[in-house]
Structure 1
Amino acid sequence: MNDMPQKDGLLTRVARRGGRADRSALGSWFWDIDWLLLILTLFLIAIGLVAVAAASPATAQRYSDATHHMPALYYFWRQLMWVCVSLPVLVIVSMLPADQARRFALIGCAGFLLCLALVPIAGVTVNGARRWLGVGIAQFQPSEFLKPCFIVATAWLLSMKGKEGLSATVLMLLTGGLTAVVAVLLMLQPDFGQTVVFSLVWIALLLISGISPRVILSLGGLALGGVVAAYLFYSTARTRIDAFLFPGSGDGAEHFQVNAARATLTAGGWFGTGPGGGQMKYRLPEAHTDYIFSVIGEEFGLIACAIVAIIFLAIVVRVFVKLLDEQDDFRLLAAAGLAIQFGAQALISMAVNTGLAPSKGMTMPFISYGGSSMIALSVGMGLLLAFTRRNPFVLRSPYVVKWSGE
């Protein structure tokens, strides 16, 4: 019992040493950030650069013509540029305190929702879909940037349960209305895959917020009804579902993509053909974006695909493990929602590449090529890192908590 004051003083001195008492923005970030989560993210970005380099020759050949010849590594160099832009964004956003990160996301949600509403009016059409705003290199995809901001806004609303006289039912209707508006705007583009992701995240956040099982069953029925309605009245969904369930239907383009992706994925066996050795990738319509997982399988093997899948799983599991003792409802919902969106997008992309899901035009986080996708994902991961930041010394030692409160 007599060593308690000595231990208290020792821990206080340790807290003051080594920079942990430095509460500047950079010092706080360095000691509070989840380094494992950050390292796994950087590992994914590095894998993505290698994968885009492997897919770039096939895509460059596909989009070259007699008057315009693209260099083989055209998409790789562009992706490297986007990574150089995105990494500072990720770090800066992750340095924000939780309240500032929430404010940043709420403003972003309002701004990008407005941009999404402008897409059907002033959007740019690429490959038959109108999803972009802007001109030239300044083009961006509002839905990509809206995703993390939408999740944080929804988490903030659901965390208000019991406050300001807001009931769970009112908040469910409010967030459901917001999700419905986003879904309608996405369907107009059309973008069925993103509609699925937004809806899944909303339902998952309702579950985490403690909504009653009766309501969940009702939402499940509505979701099933929504899928049936989409099949009956939404031609994009009907075409892709038919191509997946009935391979002989339609013009066969969707079925060809699914078969080509699966064949490319397995062409390299367990260890792959080696960098630059793949030939099946030249048959893929979007080797550098939607079907980049298949390119990884051909050139680096199924073992490499398994490693990529394990990294995605590790990121999601890491977040949920950190949230086991989280006491703040908002931080819990926001971090969980961002992790679910990240994992769901990766899972859908892998399912499409393996032929387990209809083609959805879904990119793989940090792996697929794309400026809007890379920057938006960096914003989302930055927010996730901001909401999971903790001072490891203060939280784990009751002595330092006592000292810091004096």
Structure 2
Amino acid sequence: MNTVLARAFPIDTSNRYGRADRSQVGRWFWEIDRVLLILVAVLIAIGLVAVAAASPAAGQRYSGGNVTFAPLHYFYRQLIWLALSLPVMIVISMMSRERLKQWCLIGTGVCLVAMLLVPIIGPEVNGARRWIGFGFAQVQPSEFLKPFFIVSSAWLLSLKEKDKGLPVMVLSGAFTALVAVLLMIQPDFGSTIIFGTVWIAMIALAGANIRLLAGIGVAGLVGIVLAYFFYDVATVRIDGFLFGEGDNFQVENAMRTLTAGGLLGMGPGGGTRKFGLPEPHTDYIFSVIGEEFGLIACMAIAAIYCAIVVRVLVKLLDEDEPFALLAAAGLTCQFGLQALINMAVNVQLAPSKGMTLPFISYGGSSMLALSIGMGLLLAFTRRNPYLKRSPYVVKWSGERSPQ
């Protein structure tokens, strides 16, 4: 009887994906942070539902009156982008840290060249030149530069461990200033803030002294004041946010849409205010979620973003490699800050910045760039389950001390 059952229902005794499996996929399965991966998968699933809810409103606004335009047009396109992006994220998460460093340095160079070309050959959309067209699609180089910039900066700052005399702070500051100038030309004030904030967080973690950080803070405040007086984009955004001057229709309408559904929402497809939003599937998808699924759903999404950030930071407490520590911390800061800014804009706590909600908003460049960034983060937080971690932690000064 047992022989018959064994033939009918053969059991795989190869220990595939067990702890004894030493293949690349097997090692990845046991080393990857599965909790972090599950949290990202939940965000992606929420994003598909949210894009499906916002797609009819976006289609009505951008179809140009085309009656044959599919109501779920953007949802179907988002599925295509996900099919392209998710394999990229998984493959990157399987790569070694050394190889990722090399690829990110190359990617940084390519993105910088592309950003130099954006003002020259890029199409103008809503008064800004941020994209480069490639036939059927447009690519936003600054989105791809974010993860590459962080890993490249982490590598540069980590060189101090090998040679204390290297002016890594000055070099990384010059690198960040170059990126900021290229972004301001586009103009992209929101991304400039993200790059600058992430850089400050990374140099603080790398051991920058208090005087340097205070000086950078003062310089940042002076820069914002100068931008207000001499940079038209900043002037309009700041006046609109602080004094209610100019066209505040977007943020005010987003807030009304978000609160229209109350705690539980109007149900999938029940929202009506979303049809008045200018970018319901991208910048203001958080408001669409509020109208159709309620404020409780919005709070749950905010909690997921917070859980991802906390999960990574706690995991980094036992990281003893400066490069990996700086790269993972920078990627986490960028991810959390982008989510925070998008949600703050939707609840009228920040001026409109044209920034997507990570893994939830519709967008090809955004989805692919975020998948690259998350793949890098998953790679830098991988842990060998058989390897005992060092009883040391890296301090901001770069020195090691017992826990």
Residue 87 of structure 2 aligns with which residue? 88
Which residues in structure 2 correspond to 1:44-63 (within 5 Å)? 44-63=43-62
Distance 1:160 1:393 in 2: 29
Distance 1:196 1:166 in 2: 29
Residue 22 of structure 2 aligns with which residue? 23
Structure 2 residue corresponding to 1:185, chosen from 182, 185, 192: 182
Residue 128 of structure 1 aligns with which residue? 127
Q: Which runs of 5+ in 1 are unaligned?
A: 1-15, 399-406
Are 1:40 and 1:315, in contact at CA under 8 Å, matched by a contact in 2? yes
Distance 1:136 1:126 in 2: 16
Residue 7 of structure 2 aligns with which residue? none
Are 2:318 and 2:390, in contact at CA under 8 Å, matched by a contact in 1? no
Residue 147 of structure 2 aligns with which residue? 148
Are 1:160 and 1:166, in contact at CA under 8 Å, matched by a contact in 2? no
Distance 2:99 2:350 in 1: 38
**Which digits, 9 at most, give the CA deviation of each residue in 1:151-172, with x for residues without a partner?**
00001111111423534xx211
Residue 159 of structure 1 aligns with which residue? 158
CA deviation after TM superposition for structure 1 residue 70, in Å: 2.3
Distance 1:60 1:333 in 2: 41
Residue 230 of structure 1 aligns with which residue? 227
**Greater fraction of residues in helix:** 1
Question: How many residues matched?
Answer: 377
- Name the SS of the counterpart of 1:358 in structure 2: coil
Identity in percent: 62
Structure 1 residue corresponding to 2:381, chosen from 379, 384, 388: 388
Residue 35 of structure 1 aligns with which residue? 34
CA deviation after TM superposition for structure 1 residue 299, in Å: 0.3
For residue 24 of structure 2, what is the amino acid of its counterpart?
A
Shift in CA distance, 154/18, structure 1 to aligned 2, threshold 3 Å: closer
Distance 1:395 1:70 in 2: 57
- Name the SS of the counterpart of 1:281 in structure 2: helix
TM-score in terms of structure 1 length: 0.90
Are 1:272 and 1:297, in contact at CA under 8 Å, matched by a contact in 2? yes
Q: Which moved more, 1:109-118 or 1:338-347?
A: 109-118
- Name the SS of the counterpart of 2:64 in structure 1: coil
Are 1:101 and 1:383, in contact at CA under 8 Å, matched by a contact in 2? yes
Residue 288 of structure 2 aligns with which residue? 295
For residue 142 of structure 1, what is the amino acid of its counterpart?
P
For residue 198 of structure 1, what is the amino acid of its counterpart?
F
Q: Which moved more, 1:21-30 or 1:51-60?
A: 21-30
- Name the SS of the counterpart of 2:130 in structure 1: strand
Shift in CA distance, 232/20, structure 1 to aligned 2, threshold 3 Å: same
- Name the SS of the counterpart of 1:392 in structure 2: coil
Q: Which moved more, 1:192-201 or 1:97-106?
A: 97-106
Distance 2:230 2:78 in 1: 37
CA deviation after TM superposition for structure 1 residue 67, in Å: 5.2
- Name the SS of the counterpart of 1:130 in structure 2: coil
Structure 2 residue corresponding to 1:277, chosen from 270, 278, 301: 270
Shift in CA distance, 363/66, structure 1 to aligned 2, threshold 3 Å: closer
Residue 202 of structure 1 aligns with which residue? 199
For residue 328 of structure 1, what is the amino acid of its counterpart?
E
Structure 2 residue corresponding to 1:338, chosen from 323, 328, 331: 331
Q: Which moved more, 1:61-70 or 1:155-164?
A: 61-70
Distance 2:101 2:22 in 1: 20
Are 1:192 and 1:360, in contact at CA under 8 Å, matched by a contact in 2? yes
Are 1:63 and 1:70, in contact at CA under 8 Å, matched by a contact in 2? no
Which residues in structure 2 correspond to 1:230-379 (within 5 Å)? 230-247=227-244, 249-250=245-246, 252=247, 255-379=248-372
Tell me whether 1:176 sits opposite 2:143 in the alignment: no
- Name the SS of the counterpart of 1:148 in structure 2: helix
Distance 1:397 1:334 in 2: 19
- Name the SS of the counterpart of 2:124 in structure 1: strand
Tell me whether 1:74 sits opposite 2:67 in the alignment: no
Are 1:33 and 1:390, in contact at CA under 8 Å, matched by a contact in 2? yes
CA deviation after TM superposition for structure 1 residue 195, in Å: 0.6
For residue 176 of structure 2, what is the amino acid of its counterpart?
T
TM-score in terms of structure 2 length: 0.91
**4+ residue runs of structure 1 moved beyond 3 angstroms?**
16-19, 66-69, 164-167
